[in-house]
């Protein structure tokens, strides 16, 4: 595997979207339940995790409350990335999707 390349793995069954730093792999789950735009939002967010890590490697290993910060930061980096690539997206839909994901994330932490 090219260590400078990010690979995206699309899966139907895995419910999680996550960035696997060690393998430079983005897992995009439940692709059968997302529309094309939602898949793009997820990918932008996971690349946002990579960008967060590049900017501050400490953020890549943060836990709990810090991780909520990283979650939100990664959504913002994803949005910045879309803008710098000239990808047009509906910001309202993007923010709704991001907000939903962050809520789900916080719920899963049981804090």
Cβ partners under 8 Å of residue 91, min gap 6: 79
Least distance in angstroms from the C-beta of 75 to Zn ion: 8
Q: State in Å, rounded, how far the first CA of the chain is from the last one.
A: 38
- Contact map string, positions 16 to 45, toward Zn ion, x by CB under 5 A: ------------------------------
- According to DSSP, the β-strands at 18-20 and 7-10 are unpaired
Report in angstroms how near the CB of residue 92 gets to Zn ion at its nearest: 20
As given in the structure block, the two tokens for residue 86 are: 């000239």
Give which of 104, 107, 99, 110 is closest to 29, Cα–Cα: 104
Q: How near is the Cβ of 53 to Zn ion at its closest, in Å? A: 11
Closer Cβ to Zn ion, 38 or 71, answer by number: 71
Residue 65 C-beta-side C-alpha neighbours within 13 Å: 0
Q: Which of the ranges 1-9, 53-61, 65-73, 79-87 carries the binding residues for Zn ion, by CB under 5 A?
A: 65-73
Nearer to Zn ion, 67 or 89 (CB): 67
Residues that bind Zn ion (CB under 5 A): 71
């Amino acid at each position: 595997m090219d260590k400078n390349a990010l690979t995206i793995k699309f899966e139907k069954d895995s419910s999680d979207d996550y960035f696997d730093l060690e393998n430079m792999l983005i897992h995009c789950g439940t692709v059968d339940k997302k529309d094309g735009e939602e898949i793009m939002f997820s990918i932008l967010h996971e690349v946002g995790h990579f960008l967060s890590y590049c900017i501050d490697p400490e953020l890549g290993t943060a836990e709990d409350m810090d991780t909520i910060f990283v979650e939100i930061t990664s959504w913002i980096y994803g949005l910045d990335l879309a803008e710098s690539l000239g990808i047009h997206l509906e910001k309202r839909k993007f923010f709704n999707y991001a907000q939903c994901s962050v809520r789900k994330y916080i719920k899963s932490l049981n804090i």
